[in-house]
Amino acid sequence: MRFATKAVHSGNEPDRETGAVAPPIFTASTFAQDGVGKPRGYEYSRSGNPTRERLERAVAELEHGKHGLAFSSGLGATATVGSLLKKGDHVLICNDVYGGTFRIFNSVFANYGISFSKVDARDPDSLARAVRPSTRMVWMESPTNPLMVVLDIRAVAKIAREKGLILTVDNTFASPYLQNPLKLGATIVLHSTTKYISGHSDMVGGALAVSDEDLYGRLKFLQNAIGAVPSPFDCYLALRGMRTLHLRMEQHSRNAQAIAELLEGSGRATSVFYPFLESSPTYRLAKRQMSLGGGMLSFRIKGGYRAASRFLESLRVFVLAESLGGVESLAELPARMTHFSIPKVERGRLGITDDLIRLSVGIEDPLDLADDVRRALDRAASA
Ligand code: P1T
């Protein structure tokens, strides 16, 4: 089946008992057993819940994986994947990942003796050279948060496979509608379902998709052992959002492309980062790897921090807030908000500067979004 059909139906099959066409929300924390040690299929909702299983099946199907696993947040999923590692293990993290991902490796896993180094995966050879005998995993995003760097997932996967490493691809920014990393050779796909998958900024969640049976078994064990599981209500919201993912991604992408082009032609931005801008150094790779450009973009505004904050505070349709992927447009300053947990020196090295603005372009009328951006640019220029 094709994507739109899967998005509408996966995990949303009519309830077998009642025929309900919307998935029932099973709030039960525990399930009656037929005899001692004889569960009917479910025992306790941390280890398995029917509403959660629907979401897990849907994530797996949209990502072309055999199995899905749902979590209470994207970082809950990250914590669980990180728990595959042991003391002494080393991880290669591609430059420019979500601030919270950096923070959990830098400030939590490091305490357990798991080390990491940052690599510039735009050059696959430098990635291959950075592999140590203790390296177990490569962690990447594409497009990256917040600089929208597009990395060649297939090329990274080839190196990971040759070196026997797990490749985890955080596919939050693209969503399964734009790209499917498992098909390109990734071992694990991670989502913050808080973003495009649920799509309405009304829940926090995470998910993984995998095909390797042994790895699935280990992750399933860790999901229960660590316990960062989502509530059945949140699973329902993610499933409900997912039914329109394809429609939303089309509109997000159309709107973001228009705003990126507006910014580029405005003379008020020193750089604009969007995968499907022809001026982007990775335009050809993005066109090959992604079906659309997606709803995220960032740009550097002329006039530094003062102009950036003036721009953000002048917006009327875009909401000044962290997060992304909802139907409403959001704007933020990564250096002071989402990526503040990355040390200043490291932020500077990566290019997460005080004049860098990130936009999550929603699905509103593109003309209203364009008017809003133009007006805010004018106000920022007169600051
Ligand atoms: O917020 P949470 O559901 O725990 O997801 C973490 C996460 C993981 N991966 C990526 C690429 C992300 O962007 C995030 C969360 N990001 C934001 C809150 C943000 O505004 O960038």
- Selecting among 46, 218, 287, 336, the annotated active-site residue is 46
pLDDT one-digit tens code per residue, 80-92: 999 999 999 999 9
Closest atom of ligand 1 to 195 CA is 3
Contact (CB, 8 A) for 260 and 77:
no
- Kindly name the residue from 54, 195, 220, 358 that is annotated as catalytic: 195
- Active-site residue flag, 316: no
Name the strand (E) or helix (H) holding 43: none
Whole-number Å distance, alpha carbon 202 to ligand 1 midpoint, is 14
Q: What is residue 342's predicted lDDT score, i.e. its pLDDT? A: 87
pLDDT confidence tier of residue 357, bands split at 50, 70 and 90 = very high
Q: What is the pLDDT of residue 96?
A: 87
Helix axes 304-314, 366-381, angle to 10 degrees: 140
Contact 92, 115 (CB under 8 A): no
- CA of 19 relative to ligand 1 center, distance in Å: 36
Q: Say whether both 231 and 312 belong to one domain.
A: no
Calculate mean pLDDT across residues 332-348: 93
Same domain, 86 and 224: yes
Confidence of residue 52 (pLDDT cuts 50, 70, 90): very high
Pick the residue whose CA is nearest to atom 17 on ligand 1.
323
Helix (H) or strand (E) holding 58: helix 50-62
User: Any catalytic annotation for residue 15?
Assistant: no
Do 225 and 283 fall within a single domain? no
Residue-level pLDDT at 378: 97
What is the mean predicted confidence (pLDDT) over 62-78? 98
Is the CB of residue 230 less than 8 Å from the CB of residue 50?
no
Domain boundary, last residue among 224, 242, 260: 242
Is 359 close to ligand 1, i.e. is its CB under 6 Å away? no
291 shares a domain with 325: yes
**What's the pLDDT band for 76 if we cut at 50, 70, 90?**
very high
Amino acid at 122: R
* 98 in active site: yes
Q: How far apart are CA 324 and CA 329, in angstroms?
A: 8
Q: What is the DSSP letter of 328?
A: S
Report, in angstroms and rounded to the nearest whole number, the Rg of the chain calculated over CA atoms: 21
pLDDT confidence band for 124 (50 / 70 / 90): confident
Say whether both 225 and 251 belong to one domain.
no
CB atoms within 10 A of CB 30: 11
* Cα distance between residue 46 and residue 23, in whole Å: 19
Ligand 1 center to 344 CA (angstroms): 20
96 lines ligand 1 (CB under 6 A): no
- Whether residues 177 and 45 share a domain: the answer is yes
pLDDT for the residue numbered 72: 98
CB of 194 sitting under 6 A from ligand 1: yes
| Averaged pLDDT, 102-126 | 94
Residue 182 banded pLDDT, cuts 50, 70, 90: very high
Percent of the chain with pLDDT over 70: 100
Mean pLDDT across the stretch 267-275?
97
Q: How many angstroms does the Cα of residue 100 sit away from the middle of ligand 1?
A: 7
Instruction: Kindly write down the DSSP assignment for every residue of 102-129, as one continuous string.
Output: HHHHHHTGGGGT-EEEEE-TTSHHHHHH
Measured from the CB, is residue 45 less than 6 Å from ligand 1? no
* Same domain (yes/no): 73, 156: yes
Distance CA 44, CA 5 (A): 32
Does the pLDDT value for residue 340 go beyond 80? yes
Q: Is the CB of 80 under 6 A from ligand 1?
A: no
d(CA 4, CA 255): 20
Q: How far apart are CA 114 and CA 239, in angstroms?
A: 34
Query: How much is the average pLDDT of 121-125?
Result: 88
Distance between Cα 147 and ligand 1 center (Å): 14
Measured in degrees and rounded to the nearest 5, phi and psi for residue 6 equal -65, -40
Q: How far apart are CA 322 and CA 64, in angstroms?
A: 30
**Does the Cβ of 74 fall within 6 Å of ligand 1?**
yes
Mean pLDDT (whole number) for 56-78: 98
323 Cα–ligand 1 center, Å = 7
Q: What is the CATH number of the domain that holds 42?
A: 3.40.640.10
Return the pLDDT at 338. Answer: 94
Give per-residue pLDDT as tens, 222-238.
999 999 999 999 999 99
Q: Are residues 202 and 104 part of one domain?
A: yes
The mean pLDDT of 27-54, rounded to a whole number, is 97
Partners of 331 in the beta sheet? 320, 359
Place of tokens 């050779």: 185
Whether 298 lines ligand 1, by a CB cut-off of 6 Å, is: no
Residue with tokens 């594409």: 142
* Rounded (5°) CA angle 195-349-288: 50
DSSP 161-191: HHHT-EEEEE-TTTHHHH--GGGGT-SEEEE
203/225 Cα distance (integer angstroms): 23
Judgement on whether residues 37 and 175 belong to the same structural domain of the protein: yes
- Tell me: pLDDT of 128 over 80: yes
Contacts of 170 (CB under 8 A, 6+ apart): 74, 97, 98, 101, 139, 140, 141, 190, 191, 192
When divided into structural domains, the chain yields a total of 2
- What pLDDT, on the 0 to 100 scale, is given for residue 190? 99
Which band of pLDDT confidence, cut at 50, 70 and 90, is reported for residue 341? Answer: confident
| Opening angle at CA 184, ends 182 and 186, nearest 5 | 45
Catalytic: 152? no
Domain range enclosing 374: 245-381
Cβ atoms within 10 Å, residue 162: 10
Domain boundary among 242, 269, 287: 242
Judge if 303 and 185 occupy the same domain. Answer: no
Q: Which of 219, 242, 265 is the last residue of a domain?
A: 242
Strands (E), 163-233: 166-170, 188-192, 206-210
- The model's pLDDT over 22-40, given as tens digits with 9 standing for 90+, comes to 999 999 999 999 999 999 9
Q: Which of 72, 145, 198, 231 to mutate to test the pocket of ligand 1 (most atoms within 8 A of CB)?
A: 145
Strands 90-94 and 67-71, bridge-based pairing: unpaired
Same structural domain, 192 and 166:
yes
Q: Give mean pLDDT, residues 370-374.
A: 98
Q: Which of 194, 208, 330 to mutate to test the pocket of ligand 1 (most atoms within 8 A of CB)?
A: 194
CATH number for position 284 = 3.90.1150.10
Q: Whose CA is nearest to atom 20 of ligand 1?
A: 323
Encode pLDDT of 146-176 as tens digits. 999 999 999 999 999 999 999 999 999 999 9
Burial class (CB in 10 A: 0-12, 13-18, 19+), 93: buried
85 and 225 share a domain? yes
Judge whether residue 275 has pLDDT over 80.
yes
How far separated are the first and last CA of the chain, in Å rounded? 53
- Cβ–ligand 1 distance for 145 under 6 Å, the answer yes
